[in-house]
Amino acid sequence: MELFAIAAAMLIIWMCWQLYRARRYNQFKAMVQQDLKPRVVEHLTTKLQSERSDATPNTDAHIAASQYFYTQFPARTLQVAIEWEIVNEAWLKEHGYIRFCQHLFFVDRDKLIDFSNQDDQLEEDESS
């Protein structure tokens, strides 16, 4: 009987620990939406407005669509913030977010952007 009581107590402690971890993960996702999303939108808007030309007019509609695309999911917002160096890995480690970042990227891997094609296009444009 004591064995069942100990096992039940350990199970409750483990479930409380999982609840605590889930709350911290959800707080991380909320931080991405509240803190990083405005910084990504500001950087994206500045970037698109500075790159306006006849070939890429970057109208307000295009900027709004780009903002929606890049900030639609927390994983994509975080990925872009890391790619554009709005935040770096040291910042994630310093604040204890690196594990949450890895988990978010794993869970939402289908929503991430493949930046490898953009690097290939940049190399082709520079060589032309």
The token pair that represents 121 in the structure block: 């296009």
Nearest Cα to 74, choosing from 118, 98, 114, 40?
40
pLDDT on residue 55: 86
Q: What is the DSSP string of 22-46?
A: HHHHHHHHHHIIIIIHHHHHHHHHH
pLDDT on residue 56: 86
pTM of the prediction? 0.83
The SS3 call for residue 87 is coil
Length of the chain: 128
Q: What is the dihedral of CA 116, 105, 46, 87, to 10 degrees?
A: -110
With a CB cutoff of 8 Å and minimum separation 6, the contacts of 72 are: 111
pLDDT on residue 115: 85
- Domain residues of the chain, as ranges? 29-127
What are the phi and psi torsion angles at 111 (to 5°)? -100, 0
Per-residue pLDDT of the chain (128 residues; tens, 9 = 90+): 899 999 999 999 999 999 999 999 999 999 999 999 999 999 999 999 999 988 888 899 999 999 999 999 999 999 999 999 999 999 999 999 999 999 999 999 999 999 887 655 556 655 65
